[in-house]
Structure 1
Amino acid sequence: MNNLLTIEQLSAAELTALIDSAVVLKAERGHHSKLPLEGQTWAMIFTKASTRTRVSFEVGVRELGGTALFLSKNDIQLGRGEPIKDTARVLGRMCHGAIIRTFAQQDVVDFAEFSGIPTINALTDDEHPCQILADLLTIREKLGGWEGKKIAWVGDGFSNMTISWMWAAKILGFEFAVACPANYAPSDEFLSKLDAPNVTICHSPAEAVAGADVINTDVWLSMGEEGQTEKEAAFGPFQVNAELLASAAEGHIVLHCLPAYRGKEITEEVLESQADTIFQQAENRLHAQKAVLAALVKK
């Protein structure tokens, strides 16, 4: 693995190895036997605002012995129209790796190609691989693993989170049920490419959640979609609430990648009842991303 650009690119062995590594790194926090990033500087190029992603990566790079160099779009020439390939060819000669949080998936693909340094997708409009790794780590900690489990998604059926989850389901083989409004379902083209019979799409939250061990949701409006009242209105019946969870499996957990808008995609009652899991999930961004960093470091 030279880069982490998508969940799609990973094999089951690579996904599992990253989770295994995250477990070890979490247990060793504060007394790591090795510092794989020692003497290295990693660029963090963020054109989208962030709390958890920025903090977890900055802390992770430092805890593994490296230096994190944060660059917003206003700090570099990308904000003035410089092509990503030119920025990549400069930073590739100065930095040891790059962590990119941006809009277009093609930008991280191009950066990896032209920079020649390990590149991590910290979120694009198409995929959010680091979050899925943290979620899988949380499922292992809370439920012992994903094998034989049913995971439900309630909300936007074709967001970066859902796309990454669908690829994870195909690769790892667990049942994944998506409940979404008809106008926000995965495209036929994508589902044909995915070709995963264990991934089902429906328009009934109750159907998706019935018997589910994990219930997952996210904001209805992704970053950049604020103010799209018509889209938001379509998700009214897709709230994760106590009534919906009554049909879930005994001992189920609820995940939310945060930030959460209480009273919209999830109720205050459910979020607070599941707060231990949800904020453990948030913490696990640090450990999962450290596993990615350690796997990508060039000796």
Structure 2
Amino acid sequence: MNLLNRSLLTLKEFSSDEIAYLLDLSEMVKAEKRKKIVKQRFLGMTLAMIFEKRSTRTRCAFETAFGEEGGHPVFLSTDDIQLGAKESIEDTARVLGRMFDAIEFRGYKQETVEILAKYAGVPVYNGLTDMYHPTQVLADLMTLKEEFGYLKGLKLVYMGDGRNNMANSLAIGCAKMGIDYVIISPEELFPDEQYINEIKEIAKKSGSSITVTSKIEDNIVGADAIYTDVWASMGEEAKALERIRLLTPYQVNQDIMDMTKNKKCIFMHCLPAVKGQEVSFDVIEGPSSRVWDEAENRKHTIKALMLATLGKA
């Protein structure tokens, strides 16, 4: 499958077959890593990594995935470059596109990564914006496939802030791959209705469903995975107390896991987690937790994405 020179801004632009291909490739590079097979497929290539926001998994995944294949990743914080300050985003994109083979961006506005992709002339990867987190969802889909052996027909329930980038991005990934997706959230934090209607149209093609509700017990039964995220995302720390008030009833704890009536139900989280808030300690540290698999799979899915889009698969 030819994904050469493609950017990843959201998963909307990728077909279900293309996502499935990336997941297969991810499994291959993970197996290579476990067997200590070294191939150096990015030898002589460079990757610009632009970060407006702090990062553990995204930075380490991109940097190690590119570096261990012989490439040279360059970390650029907004303290280091002129992005949007003395130099426009368009001009920064043109300059970096002449010097690098690909660009990763992690920051605030979705518009920024879209402008980079428009003007750079090289693949641009969205490492997180306020709207979307597509590389995380690739890792989540890989983790689900590893756990169950398939994706179509699974049921994933997201509990928490229904408007944040993970709720948005999981909706796309589930709709593309035929996973029934349920957002359980207080009504004050429901996602944009127009956006959900758009995703429902995608879900129709794969035969899956998208549900948004504030009711837990009626909608959690039969879940194969329960997913949550921090209650106050980066940049929203001032809203933390209000979020605790709204979201405390939606904490993922053992009672919630038991409500699924599915002993094989797993717990997922993009991390970092505030243990004792969005998830209880016993769940995230318990046998149903797959958060460490998700974290590792960030690296393998990101490597697969770069191999495919840089013509090295």
Aligned equivalent of 2:306, options 287, 293, 299: 293
Q: Which residue of 2 aligns with 1:218?
A: 229
CA contact (8 A) 1:22 1:290 kept: yes
Aligned equivalent of 1:236, options 237, 248, 251: 248
Letter in 2 for 1:256: H
CA contact (8 A) 2:133 2:166 kept: yes
CA contact (8 A) 2:267 2:289 kept: no
Report Cα offsets for 1:220-244 as digits up to 9, x if no partner. Answer: 1111001212233211101000111
Letter in 1 for 2:24: D
**Equivalent-residue separation in structure 1 for 2:220 and 2:197 (angstroms):** 24
Q: Secondary structure at the match of 1:77?
A: coil
User: Which structure 1 segments of 5+ residues have no match?
Assistant: none
CA contact (8 A) 2:132 2:166 kept: yes
**Equivalent-residue separation in structure 2 for 1:136 and 1:81 (angstroms):** 40
1:208 paired to 2:219: yes
TM-score by length of 1: 0.96
**Equivalent-residue separation in structure 1 for 2:109 and 2:287 (angstroms):** 33
Q: Secondary structure at the match of 1:283?
A: helix
Report Cα offsets for 1:1-46 as digits up to 9, x if no partner. Answer: 3111101111000110010000000000164464331110100000
Q: Secondary structure at the match of 2:303?
A: helix
Write out aligned runs for 1:3-152 (5 A). Answer: 3-29=7-33, 31-32=36-37, 34-78=39-83, 80-152=85-157
Letter in 2 for 1:127: Y
Count of aligned pairs: 299
Q: Which residue of 1 aligns with 2:284?
A: 271
CA contact (8 A) 1:7 1:168 kept: yes
Q: Secondary structure at the match of 1:88?
A: helix
Q: Which residue of 2 aligns with 1:159?
A: 164
Q: What RMSD in Å do the two structures reach over aligned CA positions?
A: 1.5
Q: Which residue of 2 aligns with 1:252?
A: 265
Q: Secondary structure at the match of 1:100?
A: strand
Q: Secondary structure at the match of 1:93?
A: helix
1:122 Cα deviation (Å)? 0.4
User: Which structure 2 segments of 5+ residues have no match?
Assistant: none
**Equivalent-residue separation in structure 1 for 2:68 and 2:278 (angstroms):** 34
1:217 Cα deviation (Å)? 0.5
**Equivalent-residue separation in structure 2 for 1:255 and 1:182 (angstroms):** 23
